[in-house]
Amino acid sequence: MTATLPTLDEICREFEELADAAERLEYLIEIGRALPDLPDEARVEANRVQGCQSNVWLVAERMPGTPSRLTFVADSDAPMVKGLVAILLAAYSGRTVAEILAFAPETLFEQLKLRTFITPMRSNGLHSMVLHVRALAKFVQQSETRESPEVMQPTAPPLERTPAASSLPLSADEVDALRADFPILDTKLDDGRPLVYLDNAATTQHPRQVIAAMVEAYEKYYSNVHRGGHALAARTTERYEAARRSVQRLLGAEHAHEIVFTSGTTAAINLVARSWGDANLRAGDEVLLTQMEHHSNLIPWQQLAQRTGCRLRFLPVTDDGRLELSQLPQFLTERTRLIGVTAVSNVTGTINPLPALVSAARACGALILVDAAQAVPHQAIDVRELDIDFLAFSGHKLLGPSGIGVLYGKERLLDATPPFLGGGSMIRSASLTDFVPAALPSKFEAGTPPIVPAIGLGAAIEYLQKIGLDRIHVYEQQLTRRAHAALESIEGLRLLGPTPDLKGGIVTFHSAAMHADDIAKVLDAFGIAVRAGHHCAMPLHERFGLAASCRASFYLYNTPAEVDALAAGLVEAQRIIRRGTR
C-alpha cells in the first residue's frame, strides 16, 4: 500500500474482491493509513464531527484553480474510522457544491456493503460525517449566493419511487389470492359462520409476509439498534433503517431523516404540537382545524392553546360531510400559523382537497399538518408534490403492527424544532448541566424505538406497493359504491358523508329505529365485524345531531359478497330489533 489515497473506483473494485468481513475491515484500516496528516490547528472543536463515537475532524477547502469545486481533508483517532473517512474523501472531494448535495451516499454504502459489517455505532458516525460534508457544502453555497445572485441552486436528487402498478382495479381472482395471505380471514365463529371483517378504519389485518418478517427478526437477528457493537445489532439496525427508507419512498420524501418513527398518528401529532407548537406559537396566534377531525388532531391543539394562549378556529362541515371551502377565506388571517386537517375523514370517508388546502396555507404564510391515518394505506400521497409540511400516519392501519407510526416533516422544520422527549439516543453529547441534541431523525427518537414493529411496517409497505395503492383505491371505491346502493335501499337507514366518488372505503350509517351498538351486536352474531360509537370524532357527530353511528370500512381483502352480507345483516338486524321492541 502506498501513501497515496486510492480513488473511489479503486476502493469499489477492491471491496468487490473481498468477500470476507474481516478482510474488508483490514482493508478499511489499510486505506485509512493513507490519509494525509491533518495539521494540529485543524484538530479543533469547530471542525469536529458531532455524532461520532471516536474523534473525527473534517474541513472543506476550495480547489486551487477551480473554486467552484471543493476538496476535503479529514482525520480520526480510530484506525477503522480513518478508513471510512478515506472513502468519504474519495467520494466527495473534487465535486461541485451542487454535485455534493445531489450525491446519494446510501447507494455507495450499499454497493460497498458497509452496513453489513461495520457496527451500528460506526454506522451512525458515517451518517454524521455525511451530514457534516453536506453542511459545509451548503455553507459554501450560501456564501456564493450572497456574492453572486446568478449562482445556480442545486436540485434534489430524484427519489427512486416504486414503479406505478396498473391503474386497473383488483380482479376477483387477485382478491381471492390476496385473502390467502391473511390467516385471520380463515377464522370461523362458534356456529361455523365465516368472519366478515369490516373494521379496517380502526385497524387492518396482517398478511403472512408481515408476520414472517417480524418472527424472523425475533428468531434470527433481534438486538437493540444503533448502539451495540456486534453483528446482531448491525443487522437489526440495517433492517430498522431500511424500514425508514421504505417509508421515505412511500411518501416521496426528499430525505430518509425526514421520517421520524413514533408509536402512531396520535404520538406524531402530539410531537408537533408539543415541540413545534410550544416553540413557535404565542397568545393571539391561530391554528385552523376542521369540524371533522379525529380527537388525535384536536386534543393536542386544545392542550397547546391552554399552554400558549393561541386560538383554535374550525372550518365547518356541510350536511353531506364535506368541508365548507367557500368559507375558508373567512377563517384565514395574518395570525394563522398552521392548518391541521385530516386527509380522509374516519367517519364519513370524505377525501379532502389537499392541494387547495396547501395553497390556502401558503397564501397566508401558514404551515399545514396532514393527519393521513386513513389516507396513506389506501391512496398514493407524495409529500413533495403536495408541498406538505408535516404528515402523520399509523402502521396498524396499513397491514402493519400496532405500536409504530410515522411523522414526516420537512428537514428545515424538523431542524428548527426542539426535541420533545429526552433520554438516550436523542443526544450528540451530554454533561451534568447541558446536552446537544442529535441530528435528525434521532433527535426525536428518544429511548429504545419500536424496532420489530418498524421492521413489520417496512414489510407491509413492500406488500402494498407490489399491489399498487392506486389499484387498491379504485377497488375500494367499487366496494363503496356497491355498499351505498345496497344500504340506501334499506328503510330508515341514513348514510353519512358524500357520494362514493368523493370518499374512501368507509360507509357510516345511522338508524333512528336502532341504536348503533345494537346494530353492531346483531351483525357480530352473524360474524360481521363493524364499529359502533363516535369513532373518536365527537364534534362531528354533534354536527350531525348524533351520539353514535355504525361504520363499515373496506380494504383490499374484502369482497363484493361481504358487502352483500353486510346489507343482508342490516335487514335482519332491523327485523330482530323491531320484533324485540313490540
pLDDT by 10-residue block (mean), the chain, 582 residues: 74 83 82 84 78 78 80 85 87 89 82 66 67 81 51 36 58 95 92 94 98 97 85 89 96 96 98 98 98 98 98 98 95 97 98 96 97 97 97 98 98 96 90 92 95 98 96 96 96 95 96 92 95 97 97 98 97 84 53
> What is the largest distance, in Å, between two alpha-carbon atoms of the chain?
97
Q: Which three cell numbers stand for residue 37?
A: 496528516
- 367 with 348, same domain: the answer is yes
Distances (CA, A) of 1 to 364, 440, 575: 61, 37, 87
Domain contains 417: no
Domain contains 114: yes
Q: Which of 147, 170, 187 is the last residue of a domain?
A: 147
- From the candidates 12, 52, 310, 536, which is the catalytic residue? 536
Bridge partner residues of 63 (DSSP)? 66
Asked if 349 and 503 count as a contact pair (C-beta separation under 8 A), the reply is yes
Q: Is the C-alpha dihedral spanning 457, 262, 201, 521 positive or negative?
A: positive
- 134 with 63, same domain: the answer is yes
d(CA 314, CA 311): 10
Domain contains 280: yes
- 347 with 406, same domain: the answer is yes
Residue reference for cell 373496506: 554
Q: Which of 96, 129, 147 is the last residue of a domain?
A: 147
Domain contains 30: yes
- 85 with 124, same domain: the answer is yes
Residue reference for cell 413533495: 384
For 565-576, the DSSP string reads HHHHHHHHHHHH
Q: Which of 99, 126, 147 is the last residue of a domain?
A: 147
Q: Helices 516-525 and 560-580 meet at what angle, rounded to 10?
A: 120
For residue 557, report the phi and psi dihedrals to the nearest 5 degrees.
Answer: -95, 0
d(CA 420, CA 567): 47
Look at residue 161 in the predicted model and tell me its pLDDT: 44
Look at residue 52 in the predicted model and tell me its pLDDT: 65
Domain contains 550: yes
CATH of the domain at 134: 3.90.1010.10
- 359 with 495, same domain: the answer is no
CATH of the domain at 561: 3.90.1150.10
- 379 with 505, same domain: the answer is no
d(CA 582, CA 574): 13
- 222 with 258, same domain: the answer is yes
Within 10 Å of residue 96's Cβ, how many Cβ atoms? Answer: 18
Report DSSP state, residue 133. H
Amino acid at 543: R
Number of domains forming the structure of the chain: 3
Look at residue 386 in the predicted model and tell me its pLDDT: 97
d(CA 406, CA 224): 20
CATH of the domain at 445: 3.40.640.10
Bridge partner residues of 508 (DSSP)? 496, 551
Domain contains 495: yes
* Sheet bearing 56-63, strands edge to edge: 56-63, 66-76, 95-96
Regarding beta strands 528-529 and 506-511, do their DSSP bridges make them parallel or antiparallel, or are they unpaired? unpaired
Neighbour-count burial for 279-290, b at 16+ CB within 10 Å, e otherwise:
ebbeeebbbbbb
Nearest to 505, CA basis, from 342, 354, 375 = 375
Look at residue 123 in the predicted model and tell me its pLDDT: 58
Question: 488 is in which domain, residue-wise?
Answer: 468-580
Domain contains 254: yes
Asked if 68 and 77 count as a contact pair (C-beta separation under 8 A), the reply is no
Within 10 Å of residue 177's Cβ, how many Cβ atoms? Answer: 11
For the question of residue 12 being annotated catalytic, the response is no
* Sheet bearing 367-371, strands edge to edge: 259-262, 405-409, 390-394, 367-371, 336-342, 286-290, 311-315
- 359 with 440, same domain: the answer is yes
Domain contains 199: no
For 415-433, the DSSP string reads HHSPPSS-STTSEEEE-SS
User: Hey, is 494 helix, strand or coil?
Assistant: strand
- 400 with 279, same domain: the answer is yes
For residue 298, report the phi and psi dihedrals to the nearest 5 degrees.
Answer: -130, -60
- 569 with 459, same domain: the answer is no
- 400 with 516, same domain: the answer is no
- 217 with 112, same domain: the answer is no
